[in-house]
A and B are shown apart, each in its own frame.
Chain A
Amino acid sequence: MPSFEELTTKERPTWCPGCGDWGILTALKKALVEINAEPTKTVVVAGIGCSGHLPQWINTFGFHSLHGRALPVAQAIKLSNHELNVIAVGGDGDGYGIGMGHFIHAMRRNVNVKYIVHDNQIYGLTTGQASPTSEKGFKTKSTPHGLIEEPVNPIALALATDCSFVARGFAGDVPHLVKLIVQAINHKGFALIDVLQPCVTFNYLNTFEYFYRRIYKLEESGHDTSNKEIAFQKAFEWGEKIPIGLFYKKERKTYEDELPQISKEPLIKQKIDNVDISQLIEEFC
């Protein structure tokens, strides 16, 4: 089974020194080591943005898709071969902006895919514009007079969409994030981990220090992860105190559980050399 080194590519990431993305990549690799994931049976799918480069720097199969589109690609990979370990990564602009529609439908669909969102509350790769999770009043290149809109609340949205695993991590606490990713992978169903991931170049507000002073761990505060109402309350806690950890978890059937087409074997293993359509032809005669 893989060692951390085996999962590490020869090429080094091109992320800014100190970027939260490094912590996420490290945590993902550590989690894969911990669960004994076979690299060839693991697919990391990404969209576009700084997060989008992640598959390039982990030795597994990878699919770097278009902006906001990691989830439809990832879900189809899982449905085509449900023996694979499929992890989608995205960003706040990528997943909660242009890809928002896919995000909501992926949660209600509950395909067994894990979704790790690099949430830095800013557009990094396009050099610093407001993102869907930027705070109201935030001044950026595209909002020099301050952002007018309210931020998206991905945790509350996930709860409202009956996401079966809703968590928030912090790129500055890798051991905690490793635990969350391991839990998410072991959970049977769609899992969201929104990761607070400071952008050290463009986000002057939501810095590592900003989060260090505010975050606390839900599991240390006696939080009941089966209680949706309390999870909702926690989802709206943002300001002096910011909770991280598992908000809510629920066992429900995955999308693939409901498909008789793949109850015996994955789609990919089914022979297609000589599909007999004589019965269909007869139907039209």
Chain B
Amino acid sequence: MTEFSWKIGGEAGYGIMTSGLIFGKAFVKSGLFAFDTNEYPSLIRGGHNTYTVRVCDEPIFSHSKKIDILVALTKLAVEKHKDEISENGFIIFDQSVFSVSNEEVRDDINLVPIPLTEIATKSGGQAIMRNNVAIGASFALVDYNFEHLVDTINGIFGGKKGEDIAKTNINVAREGYNYVERNFPKFLRSIKISAKKFAKRMYIIGNEAISLGAIRAGCKFYSAYPMTPASSILHFLSSKENDYNIIVKQTEDEIAAIHMAIGASFAGVRSMTGTSGGGFSLMTEALGLAALTETPLVVVLAQRPGPSTGMPTHTEQGDLKFAINASNGEFPRVVVAPGDANECFYETFNAFNIAEKYQIPVIVLTDKFLAESHSTIDPFLSKQLKIDRGMLLTDEKAKQIKDYKRYENTATGVSYRSIPSQIAMFKAATDEHDEYGRLSEEQSDRITQMDKRFRKFKVLESEIDGIKIYGDDDADITIISWGSTKGPILEAMKIFAKKGVKVCFIQVLYLMPFPTTKMKLLIEKRKNKIIIENNKTAQLASLIKEHTGMDIDYKILKYDGRPFTPEDIYEKIDEVLTFAKL
């Protein structure tokens, strides 16, 4: 396995995000694998942004701690990240703005001073294109075909409108490449990497995968209020609203967003809303409205560190119990936590089927790390997916029903759902009601309807397999986790494998209904059970205790707003187990 990591750091407003995307995608073009993650403060100009891209000739699932090439657009970037640089790694920096010496960093680090800004402006671009000079220069350090970079820039800026912009960006990048060729010939093509076999793959972030899943599921209505890290769903879907006939509505607040999604679903179209924890707090009352009126609903909750505004542009898994318990009263819901972009796509598609089949709210729980990181995955197999609208009535079927009871007390708990314009009329009510939907405060109606709603859950539990297992069955260590930690855990397992340690990873994909029976069976006889979560209080561990009565041996938790790296996980596990042996 060969790999390298590249990081660009500088102020916000320097165009770092686009540069990072171009850099990673250029490698995916030839059949290599890339994974990226970004870090940015909650401001538009200034501050310190970074974008890290890891490239490998085998499938990868997360970034890693070490960087081989650091592109520093500011001195601060050097100071902050010099310790992450691998032995004999490179620092490309903007000589037009500042200087760096080996005494300041380390002797083994190869310094590549380049007048980035000067080259950018001299070769027909603007100062902001210094990033592209740096990308070109970075490319010169890697033994790789420059044409893939040209292709990628054309793809991102191309089209009729962007032709000139693409051309200038390519020129500027080429100048960066040439500068290294002329001035640092010994560094030229020193990092060797090539694809083992070509295959066409996607380079996509979690939010885009969710959007594609929703479009494929026939989502026709998306209402949302801007909130990081969910906003890119809003952006993506609105950019496609006319191609796929979706009404994408930015609303006055999250309360309106969820009520609109509920209204659209009541009218009979598949709908979704998306937000982060703060916005979800505003949505909680309406989550109960969807539940009581049995209106199908899909909500994406992309977590960030709370409470309150917390750290708006960072990552955390602090809302698991919130998602499970949100809203007053008791009602069934589904909480699914995709662990990668692939699951983002398929589970969002499934979420729409589950929501309609069981006429309940489904929460797709992600976080900033998953929502905004690109990974390299096989193209989605979208043709094989089947839409299931459950007991939604057709016009014909509606005509045949006499004495229509919208909330009929059926064996499965699910009852026929008509939509406005059909002959089978009903009223959806936020108050408790009888089988017809008429308000009722009778004890018998209350018990019937509560039991009806919860009966769906029994059926659901048997239908959903909430757990995925990776690694060795006879493992020395069993890792249990959920959501976006999946990537770094799978990468940490590679490190353990090299050391000959057998590790098993239990990924809880569906947190509600909780896969109690399977979890019990799986962990009963295992030793060294370790929970890994991106939060302070080990919420999954507490759910496992609640549902199975079992304790977890060790907890590795991170709540600094940053995702785990594989190295973090490896070192922490090593630490707790060594400590345990003492």
Contacts and interface: CB of A to CB of B under 8 A. Distances in A.
Contacts of B270: 272
Nearest to B382: A277
B202 A64 contact: no
Of the candidates A74, A77, A102, the one having the most CB atoms from chain B within 10 angstroms of its own CB is A77
A268 B430 contact: no
A37 B198 CA distance: 62
Contacts of A273: 218, 387
Given A64-B427, A72-B251, A76-B261, A281 B212 contact: yes
A281 B202 CA distance: 7
Nearest to A53: B439
B153 to A, nearest CB: 15
B13 interface: no
A62 B246 CA distance: 25
B547 interface: no
Nearest to A64: B429
Interface string A247-285: 000000000000111100001101011110111110011
B124 interface: no
A272 to B, nearest CB: 3
Nearest to B218: A272
Contact of A61 (B252, B425, B438): B425
Contacts of B216: 275, 277
Given A267-B221, A267-B269, A270-B220, A284 B203 contact: yes
Interface in B206-264: 208, 212, 215-218, 220-221, 223, 240-247, 249, 251-253, 255-257, 259-264
Interface in B118-174: none
A219 interface: no
Nearest to A98: B255
A76 B262 contact: yes
B380 A281 contact: yes
A11 B436 CA distance: 13
Interface residues on B, range: 35 or more
A214 interface: no
A65 interface: yes
A3 B570 CA distance: 75
Contacts of B393: none
B212 A64 contact: no
Interface in B527-581: none
A25 to B, nearest CB: 14
B221 A76 contact: yes
A140 to B, nearest CB: 25
Contacts of B200: 285
Contacts of B243: 279
Interface stretch (B302-310, B414-422, B518-526): B414-422
B379 A281 contact: yes
Interface stretch (A40-48, A162-170, A203-211): A40-48
Contact of B419 (A39, A105, A261, A268): A268
A40 B269 contact: no
A11 B217 CA distance: 40
A260 B289 contact: no
Contacts of A278: 382
B454 interface: no
A25 B352 CA distance: 37
A61 B204 contact: no
A244 interface: no
Contact of A76 (B201, B217, B264, B293): B264
A80 B220 CA distance: 8
Nearest to A265: B245
A114 B439 CA distance: 24
A275 B215 contact: yes
Contacts of B14: none
Contacts of A45: 263
A79 B247 contact: yes
A83 interface: yes
B289 A65 contact: yes
B280 interface: no
A37 to B, nearest CB: 12
Contacts of A31: none
A68 to B, nearest CB: 8
A63 interface: yes
Given A39-B425, A277-B216, 20 more contacts: A55-B427, A63-B428, A64-B427, A72-B260, A76-B263, A79-B249, A81-B269, A81-B420, A84-B420, A101-B252, A104-B252, A261-B241, A261-B245, A267-B220, A267-B245, A267-B247, A268-B268, A275-B244, A278-B382, A281-B379
6 contacts: A39-B425, A59-B425, A64-B429, A77-B266, A81-B268, A101-B252
Interface of B: 200-204, 208, 212, 215-218, 220-221, 223, 240-247, 249, 251-253, 255-257, 259-264, 266-271, 285-286, 289, 293, 379-380, 382, 387, 419-423, 425-431, 438-439
Q: State the 5 A-B residue pairs at the shortest beta-carbon distance, nearest first.
A: A272-B218, A76-B263, A62-B427, A80-B267, A72-B259
